[in-house]
Chains A and B, each alone.
Chain A
Amino acid sequence: MLKTLVYLNADLASSIALRYACQMSKIVEMRLETIHVEEPGVEEQSPGTGWVRQTWETALLKTGEEEIAQLIQAEKPLCPPLPATKMFLGNREEKILQELQKERYDLFLEGTLYSFTSSNFYEKIRSRLFRDASCPFIFVKNLMGLTRIALLFGRGMDHFSVASSFLRIFGKAEVDVDLLYYDFPRNGATPPMEKDAEETLSAARNLLSNQGRAWKECRVIQENPEAVGDLFKNYGLVVSSVQHVMNGRSPLTELLHRIPSPIFLARRERLQGQGR
């Protein structure tokens, strides 16, 4: 059974992420666990040492615990029984990374509200948490029905990792799958991408066929990210990868920012075997 960790905060993004994770658990056999990290603000630095510090930490965690319990309670009718939320105090990214490494999760979900400006999305994919984690991430931007998934490839992308990550998580799920290749010429130049698109999509089709999975649509998209972002709104999930462009902006990352659906970002995987 897949182990999935969902990050929760007492906010709208987390509420949507939890609802989405619960919906996902209905089509994928998975164990959902939740985590919250209470980050003391600058003005909330520890007042001392020993029992003073301990009491202060307990009080901080207690407040966070109550807020998260309220959030979970609101989603209870839609969710499977959830184990108690793992509560930590300290640096959010550090604590989540430790937990991901210690418990070897298969998937991490986090709510990231869809935004008109891209800074938040780039901040997420450039974060230490995203760079150093070993499992795939789902950034839940909106609550979408999980009936149709797009595998979105692009130039220079490790298509094997994208397809095999998808198969490992959704291999048996009853969802429609589309295979898409995106490329948009920078500065108006026409890139010689036909060959790469053809090879990538063919390899992806083979990988899916070998696992007995069918696909509905298979096509190349060559339009401005602004124009096509909305076309993805009918997908419950868009599976892709940004590892090849992690430090820079590209038309693909720009498109991923403009897609309102949840985004699954795969990790590089070994070519042999589908499991880890």
Chain B
Amino acid sequence: MHILISVDQNPYSACAVDEAARLAENTLANVTLLGVGAGKNGKDETGGGAPKRGKDPNPLPDILRKYRESFLGRLGDETSPEASKEFLYEPVELNRGILEELRVGHSARKSLKTRMRPGNPVKAILAEAREDDSDLIILGCSKEKMCAWEGGMKVPEKVVNDAPCSVLVVKAEEEVSKMVCCLDQDKTTQESLEMINQMVTLHKADLEIVGITQGKGLKADVEKKMDSILRYYVERQINPCIKLVPLGSLESFISEEARRSLLALWMGEKSVLEKVFPRRKVNRLIQAAECSVLMLR
């Protein structure tokens, strides 16, 4: 798994780093910590005020260092990607058919990269996610400012809408006690189920899986898939609740749950949710949700 943590110099990014560290600890993921929002010469690209010539160096390197330390501190020595490596002799093929015994350093830990991309934060995050083949983008935002970043830029909304992978928008430090997942039972991937598993486990949260009904009840094939999802989680000692929500009530259900639960919505291509939950509704959800939102793809 490859996690991309996108940060700027505002406190909400610290929450995103913290959440990412918890997830990385559980999944032993490769992590990229990406600083965005400040130009090469200290110019604030988020519109947070004009730089003072010569006196306002780019704050991102310092902030990234701080986040990096906080991330590693959260992991502890055993799970840190910087944990000491073990060196062993093993045959390595140098040329075709020619092996040489070399001393190779091994680490069970994955990598942690720290990068900066000046320019428009949204473009920077999306470019990094594509180039780095990220599975999950994590970014924070403040509840007070309708989830806008510094200068009123709607970075989380735009990233959620255009990202090639799943996106977790971390709203606050509040402990998550319930995760509500609206999945498209036909198309939800194994990776998404596993990501939900990780989130539920690390927050010790209750899991509620939503079955969207059209007409009298669930379709037979959807029921089968839901049954297999239920069994998947029960085998992992997670006892999810199943809740049926008629398609027509989905919006009111989501806005009710957004006040108290971490919402996970499957927004993959051709998903039912993508049809009934267009961009403007997604944007409204990101703005108004009290808790974090996970958009799965």
Which positions in A face B, CB cutoff 8 Å?
Answer: 11-12, 15-16, 113-117, 120, 142-145, 226, 230, 233, 260
State whether the Cβ of B241 lies closer than 8 Å to any Cβ in chain A: yes
Contact A114-B241, Cβ < 8 Å, known A12-B218, A230-B178, A233-B206: yes
**Which residues of B have CB within 8 Å of A143?**
230, 234, 239
Given A12-B218, A114-B244, A116-B243, 7 more A-B residue pairs with CB atoms under 8 Å apart are A11-B217, A16-B242, A113-B217, A115-B244, A116-B253, A142-B242, A230-B178
A12 pairs with B239, CB closer than 8 A? no
Q: 13 A–B contact pairs at CB < 8 A?
A: A12-B227, A15-B227, A16-B242, A114-B242, A115-B243, A116-B246, A142-B241, A142-B242, A143-B234, A144-B239, A233-B241, A260-B208, A260-B241
A12 pairs with B242, CB closer than 8 A? yes
Give the shortest distance, in Å, between A146 (CB) and chain B (any CB).
12
State whether the Cβ of B42 lies closer than 8 Å to any Cβ in chain A: no
**Which residues of B have CB within 8 Å of A113?**
211, 217-218, 242-244
Complex Cα distance A142/B249, Å? Answer: 21
**Which residues of A have CB within 8 Å of B234?**
143
Complex Cα distance A230/B211, Å? Answer: 18
State whether the Cβ of B226 lies closer than 8 Å to any Cβ in chain A: yes
Give the shortest distance, in Å, between A233 (CB) and chain B (any CB).
6
Contact A12-B226, Cβ < 8 Å, known A113-B211, A233-B206: yes
Complex Cα distance A15/B227, Å? Answer: 8
Give the shortest distance, in Å, between B232 (CB) and chain A (any CB).
13
Contact A117-B249, Cβ < 8 Å, known A12-B218, A144-B239: yes
**Which residues of A have CB within 8 Å of B256?**
226
**Which residues of B have CB within 8 Å of A142?**
241-242
Complex Cα distance A129/B241, Å? Answer: 26
**Which residues of B have CB within 8 Å of A230?**
178, 260
**Which residues of B have CB within 8 Å of A115?**
243-245
Complex Cα distance A11/B211, Å? Answer: 13
- Overall SS of chain A's interface: loop
Complex Cα distance A12/B256, Å? Answer: 26
**Which residues of B have CB within 8 Å of A116?**
243-246, 249, 253
- Which residue in chain A gives the minimum CB-CB distance to B250? A116
State whether the Cβ of B223 lies closer than 8 Å to any Cβ in chain A: yes
Identify which of residues 236-265 in chain B touch chain A, using a CB-to-CB cut-off of 8 Å: 239, 241-246, 249, 253, 256, 260
**Which residues of B have CB within 8 Å of A16?**
230, 242
A145 pairs with B239, CB closer than 8 A? yes
Complex Cα distance A116/B243, Å? Answer: 7
Complex Cα distance A247/B250, Å? Answer: 28
Other-chain contact of A117, B224, B226, B230, B246 (Cβ < 8 Å)? B246
Give the shortest distance, in Å, between B219 (CB) and chain A (any CB).
11
- Which residue in chain B gives the minimum CB-CB distance to A120? B244
Give the shortest distance, in Å, between B295 (CB) and chain A (any CB).
21
A interface footprint on B196-219 (CB within 8 Å = 1, 0 otherwise): 000000000010100100000110
- Which residue in chain B gives the minimum CB-CB distance to A114? B243
Complex Cα distance A223/B253, Å? Answer: 20
Complex Cα distance A260/B180, Å? Answer: 13
Complex Cα distance A11/B224, Å? Answer: 8
**Which residues of A have CB within 8 Å of B245?**
115-117
**Which residues of A have CB within 8 Å of B244?**
113-117, 120
**Which residues of A have CB within 8 Å of B218?**
11-12, 113
**Which residues of A have CB within 8 Å of B230?**
12, 16, 143
**Which residues of B have CB within 8 Å of A15?**
227
Complex Cα distance A142/B230, Å? Answer: 10
A-B complex: 7 closest residue pairs judged by Cβ atoms: A115-B244, A116-B245, A12-B223, A260-B241, A142-B241, A114-B243, A116-B253
